[in-house]
Amino acid sequence: MKPVLIIIAFIGVFSVAKAQQSTDKDNKIYTAVEHEPEPPGGMSKFFEYLVKNIHAVGKNNEEAFGRFTIQIIIEKDGTVSHIKAQKDGRYSKLTKEVRRIIKTQPKWKPAMQNGYPVRCRFSLPIYIEPGMSE
């Protein structure tokens, strides 16, 4: 009976090691994960950080306010990369400023899939209205 248990245990350990090995080399970008990435302090702190750090981009014109989506990739180590605005157009100065702020923030808690950190595409709906950053 002992040889069978040892073989089963060896196969189990080998399978886990193989799964870890393939996951470490996996650069797939996930869009749906078990645990979403999260900025330090949560989303409310992220938006507070954004509003606190935004510099005026022409507060007297329409470019200073708007609604758009920023798409980012949270890497396995929590760094933010590939920051893109979904709807740039007339908000180009504003989206540029938001991208600048996102680049300066601390690392996020990475997305998790099957117990491992993974790369994840994440969308941030941004809405800036007059008076938010004053």
Q: Report the pLDDT value the prediction gives residue 3, as an integer from 0 to 100.
A: 37
Give me the phi and psi of 29, to 5 degrees please. Answer: -100, 115
pLDDT value for 65: 73
Q: What is the pLDDT of residue 89?
A: 60
Q: Token digits for 39? A: 């900025």
pLDDT digits (tens, 9 = 90+) for 85-98: 886 566 678 888 88
What is the pLDDT averaged over residues 71-93?
A: 86
* Residue 84 structure tokens: 């893109």
Question: What is the pLDDT confidence band of residue 13, given thresholds at 50, 70 and 90?
Answer: very low
pTM passes above 0.75: no
Tell me what pLDDT residue 77 has: 97
* Cβ atoms of residues 82 and 129 within 8 Å: no
Q: What is the mean pLDDT of the chain?
A: 77
pLDDT tens digits, residue range 99-125?
999 998 899 999 999 999 999 999 998
Report percent pLDDT > 90 for the chain: 41
Identify the pLDDT of residue 1: 46
- The DSSP secondary structure of 32-90, one letter per residue, reads S-SB--B-TT-HHHHHHHHHHHPPPS-TTSGGGSEEEEEEEEE-TTS-EEEEEESS-GG
Average pLDDT (43-58) is 83
